[in-house]
Amino acid sequence: MSWQTIPQMVLSAGDRFGDAEAVVDGSLRLTFRQVSDRIRRAAGGFRGLGIQPGDRVAVWAPNSAEWIVAAFGILTAGGVLVPVNTRYKPDEADDIIARSGARAVVVQHGFLGLDFEPSSDVPVIDLGSDFLSGAEPFEYQGTADDIADLMYTSGTTGRPKGVMMNHGQTLRLFSEWCDLADLREGDRYLIVNPFFHMFGYKAGVIASFIRGATIYPVPVFDIDEILRLVATERITMLPGPPTLYQSLLSADRSTWDLSSLRAAVTGAADIPVDLIRRITTELPFETIMTGYGLSEAGTVTASRSGDTFEQIATTVGLPCADIEIAIGDDGEVLIRGYNVMQGYLDDPEATAAAIDADGWLHTGDLGSLDDTGRLRIIGRKKDMFIVGGFNAYPAEIESYLLEHPAVDQVAVIGVPDERLGQVGKAFVVANRPVSATEILDFGRARMAGFKAPRSVAFLDELPVNATGKVMKDSLR
């Protein structure tokens, strides 16, 4: 890999792929050469605004061609990208922007009915303005060790923390991801994963520029629009959470030609084996990859070609190259390698708590390694509950309950019990009428008594954050 920085890689795509389409966003169709020119002009705009190397600039906007130009424009000016969750309310976004020390904020006014007005005195740039295209081209020559982005954790375990990653880490890891995910030059990549998240930005946008794939940004998930785009644009690459594929399988596909779909990528601790089987037998996908990643370390593991349905569904695969995985005495997944973050911004205590003296990142996830070295995620340390002295892991319990044909989604938490201390409660999204008794009996027949839930609540949908993680604190 000859590139030192993300901008060097991105701008070289103009020479490597020329007039091939880089981004298709509605009626806007841009070639790699055109996008490279726009990125350099955007960099000139940020430079003219006073953005210096190392300055942080936030982007609070949905997936779009303009997001891509703005984000890479920030990096090409020497700045540090701070993607902000588009599902945040203004006060939440303001907190992230203020704590990041952002020198400017890029927004799309009116998205989801929100308008951002920062409490701090920073310039606000509207993606709809001519800011990104009106300046003289500029390109800063950085190094692989420069911090590239500041991605804030999802906040499921407390106040979000800013994860610092450098250019070299990202380029090395996601170059390998392209191979593992079977992303090819000329692929048409429908990106439903949000750009503010690693899955959308790094495994989506950056990977596409590495490999020469055409990006189709999706700002809001709409299964009918996804079906239309797949059929009319002949989409080949469609990664997403398990719910994306469940939606595809449940939709009326009879009027759409989806035969172009080739590669799927997903990830979760609790994917039903039958879902993986259905994705590869009822949909046109030729390959499917599952993996495990987190903001603090990027993509850590991935399944491999030739893995069985069961391996793909019940494990998250093997470690990526030069990445070590170990299981701590308490069952916690530990990670060591070049991919581990540079630290949390302005939080040395949290950084020291996360990365020990031997360089092991403590993930907060519980897992195990099988005899082939594949990692299985059991759940979050904070989600584990103790039933009469026995440890119960929600992800394991959920995997059993998902085998019931009426259960589409399920989340399990521990609730207080006078005799046992805690017992399991299952929150179920069902696809047909089913009684709580039937669910409870099904669970008792398949797992040890201490694991089996003692109560069930039915919901129309589980509370999730913008990256698809179930917010179990809301259930509690």
DSSP 274-323: HHHHHHHHHS--SEEEEEEEETTTEEEEE--TT--HHHHHH---EEPTTE
Residue 378: band (very low, low, confident or very high) from pLDDT cuts 50, 70, 90? confident
Cα 370 to Cα 359: distance, rounded to the nearest angstrom? 23
Residue 91: band (very low, low, confident or very high) from pLDDT cuts 50, 70, 90? confident
pLDDT for residue 58: 97
Nearest to 264 by CA among 68, 246, 251, 255: 246
Buried b (16+ CB within 10 A) or exposed e, 325-339: beeeeebbbbbbbeb
Residue 269: band (very low, low, confident or very high) from pLDDT cuts 50, 70, 90? low
The CATH H-level (homologous superfamily) assignment of domain 6-375 is ANL, N-terminal domain (3.40.50.12780)
- The pTM of the full predicted model, rounded to 2 decimals, is 0.88
Tell me the average pLDDT across 84-100: 88
Tell me the average pLDDT across 228-251: 94
Let me know: does 362 contact 382? Beta carbons within 8 Å. no
pLDDT for residue 160: 86
DSSP bridge partners of 422: 416
Pairing, β 390-392 against β 21-25: unpaired
Q: How far is CA 409 from the centre of its chain?
A: 19
Convert the pLDDT of each residue in 111-130 to its tens digit.
877 776 766 689 999 998 99
Residue 242: band (very low, low, confident or very high) from pLDDT cuts 50, 70, 90? confident
Helix or strand or coil: residue 398? helix
Let me know: does 291 contact 265? Beta carbons within 8 Å. yes
pLDDT for residue 158: 61
Whether the pLDDT of residue 369 is over 60: the answer is: yes
Convert the pLDDT of each residue in 402-461 to its tens digit.
999 999 999 999 999 888 889 999 999 999 999 999 999 999 999 988 999 999 999 999
Greatest C-alpha distance within the chain: 71
Tell me the average pLDDT across 150-157: 76
Convert the pLDDT of each residue in 275-326 to its tens digit.
999 999 999 999 999 999 999 999 999 999 999 999 999 999 999 999 999 9
3-state helix, strand, coil in the chain (%, to 5): 30, 25, 40
Sheet of 28-31: strands edge to edge?
A: 28-31, 21-25, 214-217, 188-191
Q: Which residue has the higher pLDDT, 321 or 268?
A: 321
Residue 383: band (very low, low, confident or very high) from pLDDT cuts 50, 70, 90? confident
Convert the pLDDT of each residue in 125-150 to its tens digit.
999 899 999 999 999 999 999 999 99
Cα 239 to Cα 245: distance, rounded to the nearest angstrom? 9
Helix or strand or coil: residue 134? coil
Residues 6+ apart with CB under 8 A from 235: 188, 189, 190, 216, 229, 260, 261
Whether the pLDDT of residue 336 is over 90: the answer is: yes
CA distances from 68 to 208, 217, 276 (A): 11, 9, 31
Question: Which DSSP letter does residue 359 get?
Answer: S
Let me know: does 339 contact 297? Beta carbons within 8 Å. yes
Q: For residue 458, how many other CB atoms are within 10 A of its CB? A: 14
Residue 75: band (very low, low, confident or very high) from pLDDT cuts 50, 70, 90? very high
pLDDT for residue 170: 98
Let me know: does 397 contact 422? Beta carbons within 8 Å. no
Across the chain, how many H-helices and E-strands are there? 15, 24
Cα 10 to Cα 145: distance, rounded to the nearest angstrom? 17
Q: What percent of the chain has pLDDT over 90?
A: 80
CATH class of 384-475: alpha beta
pLDDT for residue 362: 97
- Mean pLDDT, the chain, as a whole number? 93
pLDDT for residue 395: 84
Phi, psi torsion values for 271, nearest 5 degrees: -85, 125
Residue 1: band (very low, low, confident or very high) from pLDDT cuts 50, 70, 90? low
pLDDT for residue 227: 98
Whether the pLDDT of residue 157 is over 70: the answer is: no
Let me know: does 116 contact 93? Beta carbons within 8 Å. yes
Cα 25 to Cα 30: distance, rounded to the nearest angstrom? 9
Question: Which DSSP letter does residue 203 get?
Answer: I
Q: How far is CA 180 from the centre of its chain?
A: 16
Phi, psi torsion values for 250, nearest 5 degrees: -85, -20
Q: Where in the chain is the domain with CATH 3.40.50.12780?
A: 6-375
Residues 6+ apart with CB under 8 A from 27: none
pLDDT for residue 467: 63
Q: Where in the chain is the domain with CATH 3.30.300.30?
A: 384-475
Q: What percent of the chain has pLDDT over 70?
A: 96
Residue 471: band (very low, low, confident or very high) from pLDDT cuts 50, 70, 90? confident
